[in-house]
Every structure is written in structure tokens, then in C-alpha cells.
Structure 1
Amino acid sequence: MNQLGVPVGIVMIIVMLVVPLPAAVLDLLIALNITGALLVLMTAMFVHKPLDFAAFPAVLLVMTLFRLALNVSATRLVLLNGFAGKVIDTFGHFVVGGSLIVGLIVFAILLVIQFVVITNGAGRVAEVGARFTLDAMPGKQMAIDADLNSGLIDEDEARRRRAEVHAEADFYGSMDGASKFVKGDAIAAIIITLVNLIGGFAIGVGQMGMPFSEAVTTYSLLSVGDGLVSQIPALLLSVATGLIVTRSVNNEDMGSDILRQLMRNQMPLRVAGFGALGLCLIPGLPKLPFIVAGGLMLVASSRAGAAAKEEDVQAQQAQSALPAAADTPELLAAEIQVDPLGLELSADLIDLVDPSNGGDLLDRVKALRRKIATDLGIVAPPVRTRDNLQLPSQTYAIMLFGIEVARGEAPPGTVLAIGDYLGSLPGQPTQEPVFGLEAKWIPAELRSQAELSGATVVDRASVITTHLAEVVTAHAARLLGREDVRMLTDVVKRTHPVVVEELTPAQLSLGEIQRVLQELLDESVSIRDLVRIFEALSLRATRTKELDPLVDAARQALGPAIAAPYLVDKTLHVLTIEPQLEQQILESLRPGEHGQAIALDPSTSQGLMGSLAQLTQDVENRNIRPVLVCAPQLRAPLRRLVHPIVPRLSVLSYQELTGADQIRSEGVVVADARLAVGA
């Protein structure tokens, strides 16, 4: 039934354009038109965000078509019968006092209000909103991808947010076009009224033989009544259009939002109240209206002051409610224990972990642990979050085994805007803590303005969680303890008992398995596929228990998963070493305490590293993430040589390039340390 309601209604509207209607039916439809316009206006006021009324552009078109069909039906009755129902007759005689001049003036004023003021303004806002929404789409998509990668949201939530971004762009684009309906409707109202006036005079005098004055009185009042009946719902829809396109996203309806913001500050209310009372001093002005208005403002200012004091008291109580240090043996013992992973917050950041104040940082950290388990294959230790009164204000610190490894800022009441055009926004310049991008902490109230300017806006909890995810990923090998390896081994044993029983303890101990898994994590390789890793270790451990061969065996077993993180459109961008230099490096291999090491002469080694660092930087400046490929025998020792100098450059062997449809050379390091840049 719901599917047929609107199509049948539109067909009936089309029928109204050609089929005469009785006056009683026309009265009913006019009442329905006014009531429907009022319903649309109220709905526009009570929605929390524009997308809650995403059907508004289509509703606006249907209501406009319905009103024009009523105009045609009313015109037909006026010109044929000189009577178009009680509603139009009442508007023509009672509402304007039976005066043609008054009716025309009221009708003209309504047209000016709708066409010149509301419609033009709403159309301009819709046009600018559509343009800014489209410009901000890439930044919003990046913010969604960042939250997904940091584990703050799952795939379903990311898909929902992307759909919402596209729906928002479609909505503002539709509103840009829908505002033209309102403008065209106002022009049509003028033309229809003029046609009614001229046609009524001609029919009354020419066909019905009325005196000119009687024809003017009869048809003019009916035409004005028809115009007023159509302009009132048209004005309601114009106001609804303006409210929708100027509505900002909030968790409250428009009435509550406006009153809360107007009544928040005491001083503007007090100044307005005394200003109204001061107008009483002007001679000749009535005193009572201004006294009443000024008194209301002063009463509202006193209530606003009381509310502000109550908020300050609650904030002070929240700060004083921080747990005080105690000297009990249990608490002291808990304090001296070293937590693998910790997050310390300054006193003014406690709201991030307080659910009563909307803080959801702890929930996000839990989601981050799930994300790390999915990406890296390890179970990150619980993050112990505590306050640290010794930290500077607005500061948080990330601890690893009791040692601070990272620090950042998250000023209260702000959000982080990331982009190139932030100069017009007030705030504190900074750098995004993970990627080092230029950013600025701006007031939270300017979030929508920053998004419209094309910036990526991230809240404080997201910044901290993303920073924590980067630290955990970089130190995943250190966080994988012996107990974690035991737990992972037990999980594999439940589904593949033969694999585990063959590997440990018969061939490798838990400590040796831990070393292999740590090495894989240190090389940014996920250990999620433990079954294949254990199977490869079982085969290689029969011949050797040295670390490098075991790691290479595990990497070969993972196959395409090694190169997958570096693929861009199925293309792998690689750096290679000139064959003569590669042979020289092979000949320089020497056994060492931690596996084979490269023993090149200092000048050759320095030239190789300098050239490799420069070449990597040149390729990255083209927004390409390269990998260094070499012979399988060289991969492990070459990585140990390269990692301290170029830590972001991964080293892969030729056997690990499976999964790439195309391999593109981005540069070659030649024997004399010169760079030959690839095509």
C-alpha cells in the first residue's frame, strides 16, 4: 500500500489539471494542502540533521505540483462560475476585509517575502552547500579509512559512513535543484493571478454582461483569495526549504538547539535587557512593552548565570573526584609492576575515559586490540590507562614496558583538522602524530566549517587511538611474549593438533618459535596464518635451527601475503641492485652472531646506503611506496644493513614477488653508487 500511495497521488494530481472539480472537493484539497505544508515545516524543524529528511526534495516537488493543480482547478471554477468554494471566498472577503487594494498589497508582500528573501537565500545556501559537500567528500572518505585502519570502526560501520557521505552529497545536490521549484512556483503564482484578474474582467463584462465595477469586485476578490490560499502553503514550504539547507548536524531538534545556544551566555542577555530598558528613556515611546521585553531578558540572564555556575561546580567536583594516591602494600605492589602497554593522560584529558561525559576512549582501545589481532595475528596486551598529574596539560603519553615511547597533545574542546588550507581557521598549529602531516587543533564548534573547506577532521579520541595503533604496530615484536606464543600455539592445536605436535617440542622450543615470529613481525609480516608458518618451520627445522633459514621458510610459505601490502592496482614498485654490485655483496657475506652479515669495505657500504636512501626518497616523493628486491641469500643480511638507515624500506627476495600482476622498476643501484632511475 505504501508503494502505491505516492504514485497514485501524483496521477490524481495530473488528473486535476484537466478534470473540473466541485467546489466542495476543492475546499477539502485546499485544506489538505495547507495542512501538508505545515506538516513539512514542522518536520524540517524537528529533524536532528538534514539527512533525516532526505526525501524533502521529492516532497517539495510533489507539493509544488499539487498546489499548481489546485490553482488550475480554482481558476477554472472562478472563470466558469464566479465562485470557487468557501475557502477562497473567505480569504477574498474576510481575511483582507473585502478590500481589493488590501488583498493585492498582502499578496504582493507575501510574494516579496517568499521570492526575494527566503527563496533566493535558500537557493544560494543550497548551491554553496552542494559545492562544499562535494569538495569535502575526499577528506571525509580519508577520515573513514583512517578510523577503519586504526580499528575504531568495523567494515560494516565504515560502509554505513561511506553511504552516508554519498547520501549527503546527493541530498545537497537535489536541494540545489529543488530550490528552483520554489522560485518557479512564485513566478507561476504571479502569472496565474494576473490571468485570473484579466480573464475575470473579460468574462464578467463580455460574456455575463456585468457592470465593470461589479466584475472588478467579484473576480478581483476571488483572484486575490486564490492567490492568498496558494501563497500561504508556498511560504511554509519556502521556510522549510531554508531551514533544511541551513540546518547543521546536531543531536537536538532545532528549537532546543537555538534556545540552548541563545541562553548559554549571560552577558549578551544582560546587555539586551538593559538596552531594552534604556529605550524607555526616549520621550514618546510606550514604556510597558520595553519594560516587559527588558525584564524577560534580565530574568533569562540570571538563569543562564546560575546554569553556568552549576556547570563549573560539576567540573570542579569531577577533577576533585580523581582517585588519590594511597600507600597500601597492595596498591604499591600494583604500581611497581611493569605493564607491557600503557596510556597516561593529563588531568584535563580525563573526560576522554569518562562515559558520563561522552568519553569512549576505552571502548576504542578495545576495538583497536581486535583490529591488531586481525591485521598482525597477535593479541596485544591490555592497555592500562591512568591519569598522570605530572604530565603537562593537554598531553598524553604512550608507555611501553614502563618507558615512554611516544607523546602527543589533545586539547579539550577541540578537534584536529588536517589539510593544506587551514590558515583561515583559528586554532593551534601542530603536526599529525602518525604521518607528520600539517594540522591544527581547532574549536569543536568549527568542525562543519573545516569539513566544508576540504579538511579532514578527527576527534581527540581518534587521534590518540591512531597514535597508539602506530606504536603497537612498530613494536609488535617486543610485545609478543613467551606466554603469548604459548596461547597462540594452543589455539592452533585445537584445530590442527598434528601440526603443533610435529613442531614442538620435538623440533623447536617455544623460545625458538618466538624468535621466528618476532622476526616476522619486525619485518612487518602478519603471523595470522600460523598453520602454514608452523608447517614450513617443521620442514626446515629438520635441516637447521638457525634463525634466518627458518624465517625465510616461513616467508616463502606465506607466498602472496608477503607482497600484498605493497601492491597498488596489482602493481609492485621495486628497487633493484645492479648485478655486479649484488654479486660483490654475495661474496662479502660472513657468518655472524645473529646470522650472516655483509662485510663490504666502508666506502662501498657508505655509497650503497647513501644511494639507496636518496633513491627511496625520490620514489616516495612521487607518492610511490617501493620495496627493495634481491637474491634470496641476500634478503636477511641486506635487511639488517638497510633497516637502520632506511627503516621504511622493506626488503623482499625474488621468490616473494608472487601475487603481483605487474612489477615496475623504479630505480637501480649501480656498482659505482650512482643512481639509475627506472622508467
Structure 2
Amino acid sequence: MKSLTKLGVPIGIVAVVAMLVVPLPAVVLDLLIALNITGALLILMVAMFIHKPLEFAAFPSVILVMTLFRLALNVSATRLVLLDGYAGKVIDTFGHFVVGGSLIVGLIVFAILLVIQFVVITNGAGRVAEVGARFTLDAMPGKQMAIDADLNSGLIDEEEARRRRAEVHAEADFHGAMDGASKFVKGDAIAAIIITLVNLLGGFAIGVAQLGMPFGDAIQTYSLLSIGDGLVSQIPALLLSVATGLVVTRSVADSDMGSDIMNQVFARQTPLRVAGFGALVLCLIPGLPKLPFIIAGGAMLLASSRVKQIEQEATAEVATATEVAIPDSPEQLAAEIRVDPLGLELSADLIDLVDTRVGGDLLDRVKALRRKVAGELGIVIPPVRTRDNLELPLHTYAITLYGAEVARGEAPRGTVLAIGDFLGSLPGTPTREPVFGLDAKWIPAELRHQAEVGGATVVDRASVVTTHLAEVVHQHASRLLGREDVRLLTDVVKRSHPVVIEELTPTQLSLGEIQAVLRSLLDESVPIRDLVRIFEALSVRAAVSKDLDGLVEAARAALDPSLAVTYLSDGTLHAISFEPMLEQRMLEAVRQTESGAVLALDPELAQRLLITVTQLATASENEGHRPVLVCAPQLRPAVRRFVAPAAARLPVLSYTELGAAQQVRSAGVIGDLPDPALGVGAAIGATA
């Protein structure tokens, strides 16, 4: 069966080509004409019931095959008309019964069908296909960037990203093919006119010159057959043109076209009432028949009353769903006063983000974020409690950590976030992207395509909230790692490497001490996925000293090959370093405290040092790099504590941790520290 399906279309195309030169009996021609009309009707129905154009991706090829089939039928019919004066019952019936046997009526009906197909439908569909192809190609970079943004924020995995990229390419290919296929439909309409004229003139010449028929009989016989052949061809051609227009004007939806039209046109009560009363008012015009307008207006008013009933039922369902009893049992009260580690609060108008009935998928995206963070950092973040907060301003969401708000943003309903440099022509509310602080604007959702064509990256509201939540989780990952989480992680390692855990805990380090080490690593955005190597290093170091800085540096040494990989750009690491004299001065200023090693520098020198480091890091980031600050291993913990308040995102590596970099390029060398008002350049002893 599969082989027959595979060979069916090629065999059919070869048969169609053969029809151009091989005469067909009238009976076979009748069968093929019926098949042509039925096939065109089938294609029209398929075009109406698809949810999005890509569900009928073979449509451009179908247009070509059906056009070729119809032209082959025209050639076969022309051969029979001119040779035998008879082309089967179908054409004869269309020539006599459908147009009443009148040549004038037949010509007028044929001309009207041509005008409808060629001037109205075909030209409109061709223009829509051309514009759709151009806009789709222009929007591809923006769509690719949006996919990459969703992938980086953890909203989708690699497999889903590949599927979406393939869909974007398939959509571009489809619209490009439809742009070309619409020319087949237009050419078919032109060919129908030429073939009909050839049949008329050829029939007159054969009837009068060869067969000796009176002029009137020749006109009556051959003209009606020619008109019948033209009508038989134009009806399926018109159906295919309509199908082409439906496909190229179809937008992505969750239901078929008929359902969309009914749901959108008849979903509001006021327009139906206005239309109904308008039809009844027309009855007052003298001379107009009253009954048709009364029927039409009554039907509209009846439909409006039905819409009101549906709205009342939906409102009652929502009210019933919200009437939830509030128990006052101790267990319920205890559950309510419990502080959740991570929370997401939404204002009243943002509830649609979590309402699955209107397409809200924020909860699913948060679940995907938990999986993403687990794969990146190696920790399992607690469930995110999402709830509404009527005290929040409209359009606002808040992210809480142990009950305290740590971040806030906006996501106005009915909008999308456009990120880019040239957004002045788009209407909307200017803002800043909450994670990286990029210039952005909340624009109406219907302008999404226009913004993508203009080169902006467009992100929906749920993606904005999830990306912001992901950034907060990365910033506060260490605070989210509780004692129970450490117990869970050690139990996981114990199943595969029991000896490692038996040596480490509880004889050498307690869970609290292990937690402190893992938190310190997370504070510096060091993933703790490779727990086996971390625990082995801690076991060796703990036998010598349980100093926190020493334990952390031992864990970092075990992870050495992977520490610098995150900050590489094409194998190159952009590093900010200190001149040897300054570094020696900083080594002399290291002091051990209960919180670890710190730099005891002169306040003025410390301030200038922080300003210079921040300026160099910002300058490197503006060039598109991810800089790191490098120093001697003995200095690294103290330097990290020193720069963290001013440059929390700046990684601090020791010279021994640069092994993964194929090339190290200087982003600035900090030497003698002049007054920072002189600029960054004065603070750089050497640059690459």
C-alpha cells in the first residue's frame, strides 16, 4: 500500500502529460471531468478546515498538478469538439441545460466567471502571497532571535528549539512557493480565455468550411460546446482560486476557518443588535419588500439574545469557580502562613497568563524553567508559588524570595515586548528589558509582525516574566539551596558513588559545612552539577583544614577545566588583570577574618580600584565581550569579596583557572590608579 501511495502521484502526472497527445473517448472524458470538479471541491474543503497554512504544505504542488490536469482536459475536449462535434454528456449538459441553450447567456456567464476568478480572486490571492512571502523572509531573523532567547531562558529545550527553527524555515519555504504557485492560477485563467476563443473560431471554420453546415447551425453547435467546455473548466478553476485565497490569507489559529468566523463574527451582542435593528429600519423605506428585511433583522436579534445567554452562563461558571470556602482549621492556617522560598505575584489583570482556558501557559513555562536551572546549575529550585496580589498596580508582577520582594516588572495585557534600537516608529510604552536593561517598548500585540520585520526582537509577556524569574533564580541560587536540598543531592551521589559520601560526611564535614561551600560556589555562578569531583576535593581538603575559603578553592580546583568555558568567546578569554606591583600591594593587604580573607586597603585607593574595575568591565561588555577579572590564587577569595558589591556579575578567576582558554586577550591592565575623573584610559597600564 505504501509503494502504491508513493508511485500514485508520479504515475498520475505522466498520465496527464499523455492526455495532451493521446485522444480520449467521450465516456472517459466525462469521468475525468467529474474527477476534476470533485478534486477541486475536496481541495477547497481541506483549505477551509486547516488550522494553519503549514498543515497543507503540499498545496503549491497540488496547484501545479491540478492546473496541468485541467489544461489536459481542455486539450482533450477541444480535440473531440473539433473532430466529432461532441465531447461527452457533461460538456453537452453544461452547454445546453446550465445556460439554457442560449449562446448569449453562456458567453455572459462565462465572462462573469472569468472576471470573478481573474480580476478579483486570483489577483488578490497573488498579491497576498507576494506580500506574505516578503514579510515572512524579512521576519526570519527576529523569529530566530526569539527562539534563541526562549532557549537561553529555559522556556524550551534544544529539541523544541530545533523544531521551531525547522517550522520557521518551512513557513518561509511555503510562502515563497505560494508566491510562485499563484502565478499558475493566474496563467490558467488566461489560458481558459484563449482556449475558448480557439474553440469558437476553430469550430466555425470546421463547421462551415469542411462540413458544409449553415453558418447559423455551426455557430449554435460549436459555440455551445465551446461555452460548455469553458464552464466545465472554469468551475474547478474558480474553486482552486478560492482555495488559494483562503490558504494565503489564513492566519495561525486553534480551530478551522468556519469555527473562527462564526466565533468571531457572532461573538459580540452589540454588533448583532445594531445590524438587526438596522435591517428593520430599512422596512420603513417605501417600496422595499418588508418580509426579507424582517426575516434578516429578526435572525440577527435572535442571534444576539443567544450570545447574551452564553455570556451569562460563562459569567455564572466563573462566579461558581471563585466561590471557594475558606476553612479556618489549624492545618489550613499553618499552610497559609508558611513562607514560600520562591513566589510569583500577579496583579489582577495578569491572571490570564496562568489561565489555561484563554491560552495562558506561564505555569508550564515555570516548570520548564525548573528543569533548565537544574541542568545549568545542578540544583533543584523549590516550586514557584504563583498567586494573585490585588495590592499590586495594574500590569505589574513581583518576584518574592522567602516572602520578601526582590524584583518587579510590568507585562501590560494585550501587548508584546519589542527589543531593539529603532522602535520610535512603533506606538507603545517605552521601557527597559528587565534582565539586561536594553531599550524596549511594550507595543500592541497586533504589531508583532511589523516589529519583527523592522529588526526588533519581539517577546511575549509570559516569556518576559519567565526570563526575569530565571535571572532572579540565578542571582539568588545560593539562598535557594537549603539544608534539605543538600541532603537530597548527597543522597543522589551516594547511590552511584557511596564511598565518596561515606568518607566526606559526617566524619569530615557536616551538611551545614557542605552547604556553605556549595553556596559559595553558586554565589560566583559556578555550577555544582559535578558533585562527585566537588565532594572528592572537599574530602581531601577537609583532612587538612576546614577553612571555608580553602574548601571553596579546592572545589574550584577540581572543576578547573570547566570554570573558564562559560566566559569564552570563540576560544578567547577577555581578562582584566593587575600590574605586578599593585598585585603585590594587595597581597600584603590581605587579612583573615571570620568571614574569610578580605583586602584591608586604604579607603581612597579601594574606591579608585573599584571604579576602575567597573569601568573596564563595562567597556569590555559594550564591545560584546564577557570579561573576567584574573589575579593570583592567593588573592582570588579576597578580590571576589572586594569587587562583589560594585560588580556582582564580574567573575573573578585565578591564573591557574585559565587552562580551558585557547587564547587570553587583555581587556585592561590596572596599574597606577589616578583620579578616576581622568577616565578609563589613564588607569590602564597596557591593553591588547
TM-score range relative to shorter protein: over 0.9
Match in the other structure for 2:677: none
Contact in 1 for aligned 2:378/2:528 (Cα 8 Å): yes
Residues 672 and 683, structure 2, Cα contact 8 Å, conserved in 1: no
Matching residue's letter, 2:662: D
Is the 8 Å Cα contact of residues 136 and 455 (structure 1) preserved in structure 2? no
Rounded to whole Å, the distance in 2 between the matches of 1:670 and 1:203 is: 103
SS in 2 for 1:112: helix
Cα distance in 2 for residues equivalent to 1:423 and 1:114: 42
The alignment status of 1:377 with 2:359, answered yes or no, reads no
- C-alpha distance in 2 between matches for 1:97 and 1:373: 77
Q: Matches of 1:448 and 1:400 in 2, distance apart? A: 36
Which range moves more in the overlay, 661-670 or 512-521? Answer: 661-670
Shift of residue 523, structure 1, vs aligned partner: 0.3
Structure 1 residue 254 corresponds to structure 2 residue 260? no
The structure-2 alpha-carbon separation of the partners of 1:235 and 1:569, relative to structure 1 and needing over 3 Å to count, comes to: farther
Secondary structure, counterpart of 1:132 in structure 2: helix
Provide the C-alpha distance between the structure 1 equivalents of 2:453 and 2:97, rounded to a whole number of angstroms. 49
Paired letter, 1:88: I
Contact map agreement 1:635 1:651 (CA 8 A) in 2: yes
Count matched residues. Answer: 677
8 Å Cα contact 2:418/2:459 also seen in 1: yes
Partner of 2:87: 84
Cα offset, 1:300, TM superposition: 1.8
Change (3 A) 1:216 1:675: farther
| C-alpha spacing 1:284/1:423, structure 2 compared with 1 (3 Å) | farther
SS at match of 1:194: helix
Q: Which residue of 1 aligns with 2:167?
A: 164
Q: Tell me the equivalent position of 1:644.
A: 645
TM-score scaled by structure 1? 0.93
Q: Hey, what does 1:511 align to over in structure 2?
A: 512
Q: How does 1:121-270 map to 2 (within 5 A)?
A: 121-270=124-273
Q: Give 1:211 shift.
A: 3.1
Shift in CA distance, 208/662, structure 1 to aligned 2, threshold 3 Å: farther
Per-residue deviation at 1:588? 3.3
**Partner letter of residue 607 of structure 1?**
R
Is the alpha carbon distance of 1:149 and 1:665 closer, same or farther for their aligned partners in structure 2, counting shifts above 3 Å?
Answer: same
1:410-467 Cα distance to aligned partner (Å, 9 max, x none):
4455554545566666655544333334445556566666656655454444333332
Moved more, 502-511 or 187-196: 502-511
Q: For residue 475 of structure 1, what is the aligned residue in structure 2?
A: 476
Distance 1:257 1:330 in 2: 47
Deviation at 1:502, TM superposition (A): 2.2
Counterparts of 1:453 and 1:265 in 2: how far apart (Å)? Answer: 34
Specify the alignment match of 1:619 in structure 2. Answer: 620
| Partner in structure 1 of residue 501 of structure 2 | 500
Deviations 1:217-239 (A, max 9, x none): 32222222211111111111111
Which of the residues 15, 21, 29 maps onto 2:32?
A: 29
Shift of residue 527, structure 1, vs aligned partner:
0.1
In the aligned structure 2, how far is the partner of 1:664 from the partner of 1:102? 84
* Counterpart contact for 2:398–2:408, Cα < 8 Å: yes
Counterpart of 2:479 in 1: which secondary structure?
Answer: helix
Contact 1:280 1:286 in 2 (8 A): yes
Structure 1 residue corresponding to 2:118, chosen from 115, 118, 121: 115
Distance 1:432 1:290 in 2: 55
Q: CA deviation at 1:271?
A: 1.8
Which residue of structure 2 lines up, in the alignment, with residue 43 of structure 1?
Answer: 46
CA contact (8 A) 2:345 2:397 kept: yes
**CA apart distance, 1:86:** 1.5
Greater displacement, 306-315 / 633-642: 306-315
Which of 321, 329, 334 is the equivalent residue of 2:323?
A: 321
Moved more, 433-442 or 608-617: 433-442
**What is the correspondence of 1:293-304 to structure 2 with a 5 Å cutoff?**
293-304=296-307
Instruction: Spell out, residue by residue over 1:353-410, the C-alpha distance to the aligned partner (whole angstroms, 9 max, x if none).
Output: 4555554444433332222211111111222333434334443322212211122334
Which residue identity does 1:551 align to in structure 2? V
Q: 1:321 to 1:449 in 2, by over 3 A?
A: farther
> Would the alpha carbon gap of residues 107 and 664 (structure 1) be closer, same or farther in structure 2, given more than 3 Å must change?
farther
Say yes or no: does 1:280 pair with 2:283. Answer: yes
Partners of 1:350 and 1:317 in 2: how far apart? 17
Q: Which deviates more, 572-581 or 288-297?
A: 572-581
Equivalent-residue separation in structure 1 for 2:389 and 2:64 (angstroms) = 59
Structure 1 residues 201, 30: CA separation in 2 closer, same or farther (over 3 Å shift)? same
The reply to whether residue 520 of structure 1 matches residue 538 of structure 2 is no
* Deviation of the 1:19 alpha carbon: 1.2
Task: State the match for 1:558 in structure 2.
Answer: 559
Once the two structures are superposed, the pairs formed by residues 44-59 of structure 1 within 5 Å of their partners are: 44-59=47-62
Q: Is the 8 A contact 2:352 2:358 kept in 1?
A: yes
Q: Following the alignment from structure 2 to structure 1, what is the Cα–Cα distance between the partners of residues 121 and 566?
A: 53
Q: Is the 8 A contact 1:132 1:453 kept in 2?
A: no
Residue 548 (1) aligns with residue 540 (2): no
Return the letter of the residue paired with 2:117: Q
Partner of 1:366: 367
Structure 2: gaps (5+ residues): 675-681
Distance 1:334 1:602, change over 3 A: same
Checking the alignment, whether the CA contact within 8 Å between 2:139 and 2:449 is kept in structure 1 is no
Matched, 1:70 2:84: no
Q: In 2, are the aligned partners of 1:265 and 1:304 still within 8 Å (CA)? A: yes
Match of 2:337 in 1: 336
Alignment of 1:341-356 (within 5 A): 341-355=342-356
The residue aligned with 2:64 is 61
Contact 1:132 1:454 in 2 (8 A): no
Unaligned runs of 5+ in 1: none
Mean CA deviation greater in 350-359 or 520-529: 350-359
Which residue is 1:5 aligned to?
8
| Matched AA of 1:281 | L
For 1:454 and 1:316, the matched residues in 2 are separated by 44
Range moving further from structure 2, 616-625 or 590-599: 590-599
State the SS of the aligned residue for 1:550. helix
Cα deviations by residue, 1:190-225 (Å, 9 ceiling, x for unpaired): 222222222223333333333333333322222222
Matched, 1:291 2:294: yes
The alignment yields a C-alpha RMSD, in angstroms, of 2.6
Shift in alpha-carbon separation, 1:448–1:302, aligned structure 2, 3 A: farther
- C-alpha distance in 2 between matches for 1:347 and 1:281: 48
Which amino acid in 2 is paired with 1:142? M
Change (3 A) 1:531 1:578: same
Residues 668/186 of structure 1: CA separation in 2 closer, same or farther (3 Å cut): farther
What is the TM-score normalised by the length of structure 2?
0.92
Distance 1:482 1:259 in 2: 57
C-alpha deviation, 1:598, in angstroms: 2.5
| Partner Cα distance (2:95, 2:114) in 1 | 17
Q: Quote the Cα distance in structure 2 between the aligned partners of 1:483 and 1:302.
A: 59
Q: Deviations 1:11-32 (Å, cap 9, x if unpaired)?
A: 1111111211111111111111
Question: For residue 14 of structure 1, what is the amino acid of its counterpart?
Answer: V
Sequence identity of aligned pairs in percent? 75
